[in-house]
A and B are shown apart, each in its own frame.
Chain A
């Protein structure tokens, strides 16, 4: 047999590196989750804020499954987050306040709506896709605003009674139980998302993003894959919304707003698209920075946030996580 000329100088080293990178935990992931867990002890006065950042992180992960892995941009992803929040909220208001039931309800209703939307969305791309997803978000917002008998309209949904987690741990005002509950749920969903993107299904999504024309030639229906991705993403966003409703015991109309759809997109770009942990990091940085900057100047904090976003994007591909990876590689190579 004729040996082919190798293009890569040290295949075994490179191959081992790539294997580690793809299927094992990277240091940024481990560091993020360790810091997130440690923050329970390090920042006892900020549990509510960190819980919200983690919940936003799960919401960003749901968008990353769409944009980062499938290449579907959504300008109205808050629709699914909001539907999850309202579902959990209305269930709790009506006497079904078990937190796990709220999560399941949020996932099912948001997922079902996502499945319905995916019939339309999976056919579109480019500006049409952005416009339709934007339209879905605006429709849901106005529907919730007008249907005040169910949602509370502009005043928000009130009167939720969320039962203790597993019947044992009641939500407290300091947010201790809320933090641990959200952390565990989000970590489980992060593991599931990680598993999904490394499965043949997730790899096929990457294939669609990179070469949509080639995928049908592998016996894979692009439309079905995209519909599944959209549905799963919507369900995960619904879980994030339900978590927010349960931990704050209130649902504001803002959960469906265009601002939230844009914020989640900014968090994803900030942290890094297409690696899951980037979403978590981006959400944490965004929420904490917004809180701190608003404390410094409650009027012009958006200016500084915009500046941070520009600096991160201009500093190279991959957002904060991409920067950290390059830094880690440099340190690892002793340069």
Chain B
């Protein structure tokens, strides 16, 4: 077994007096993928914020390539290879697509032209402002902008949230391409349970800030009873219906 790219041990954090994550531990190796599942408000996005340094750890340790980064500033984490696509896209309204990519650019294999190859739709919109893009285009831009930082690990926080089914399919295929063809390591937080489990190799399920399940995505996908217990069958059926409708 190779050395983990990211190693989180006993991480606890929260807001004010409330503890949102409690004693969370996970590891991910280079080129692998991990889904983070759980119902709303169980700490998935808080975990992303903690990994990126936007929320201080109360206890525990985060290691990146063997070095501790628990107290490292968010921008320095990005420079060292952590990339984050936040929930809600958060594109800059008055910057063009081209400018979004320009400000994020760091030396590496991802360049503007490669981003435009991956997302041809963005190439068509390169001179449009962030606020003029559709939800799907904004999501592509959010992913493309993060790729321009040339990350080794990509944290995707609900990339399919609020998108139409046809666009969900497009974004999902791009993420799959990034993993399979580009070999990117990915941590995926997603409400589309089936999509997340089909895409990733490993999975953790959070409930009230604790990991209540950890294993392979395939095994969980095949275990309907466990899925029902952990994330709710209704959600899976809803998303399956969405897939079928496509």
A interface residues with partner B (beta carbon < 8 Å): 1-8, 11, 14-16, 18-19, 22, 200, 203-204, 206-207, 210-211, 213-222
Contacts and interface: CB of A to CB of B under 8 A. Distances in A.
Contacts of B75: 215-222
B92 A217 contact: no
A14 to B, nearest CB: 7
Nearest to B102: A200
Contact of A216 (B73, B92, B132, B134): B73
B128 interface: yes
B103 A204 contact: yes
Contacts of B134: 4-7
B92 A18 contact: no
A16 B127 contact: yes
Given A210-B93, A211-B92, A220-B75, A11 B103 contact: no
7 contacts: A7-B137, A18-B128, A19-B127, A200-B103, A214-B86, A216-B78, A219-B78
Contacts of A222: 75
Given A217-B52, A219-B78, 13 more contacts: A2-B167, A4-B121, A4-B134, A6-B134, A11-B125, A15-B126, A18-B128, A203-B95, A210-B93, A211-B92, A214-B86, A217-B84, A219-B104
A145 B134 CA distance: 57
B79 interface: yes
A206 B92 contact: yes
Interface string B10-44: 00000000000000000000000000000000000
B149 A219 contact: yes
B105 interface: yes
A213 B90 CA distance: 9
B149 A218 contact: yes
B142 to A, nearest CB: 9
Nearest to A198: B99
Nearest to B106: A219
Nearest 5 A-B pairs (CB), nearest first? Answer: A219-B78, A216-B74, A15-B127, A216-B75, A218-B104
Interface of B: 52-54, 73-76, 78-79, 84, 86, 90, 92-96, 99, 102-106, 120-121, 124-129, 132-134, 136-137, 145-146, 149, 164, 166-167, 169-170, 173
A206 B133 contact: no
Nearest to A18: B127
Nearest to A207: B92
Nearest to A224: B75
Given A15-B125, A206-B92, A4 B104 contact: no
A203 B97 CA distance: 12
Contacts of B54: 213, 216
Contact of B120 (A1, A14, A15, A220): A1
A21 B134 CA distance: 21
A22 B96 contact: yes
Contacts of B103: 200, 203-204, 207, 218, 220
A18 B52 contact: no
Contact of B128 (A15, A204, A215): A15
B86 A4 contact: no
A213 to B, nearest CB: 7
Contacts of A200: 102-103, 105
Nearest to A15: B127
Nearest to B246: A2
Contacts of B79: 219
B132 to A, nearest CB: 6
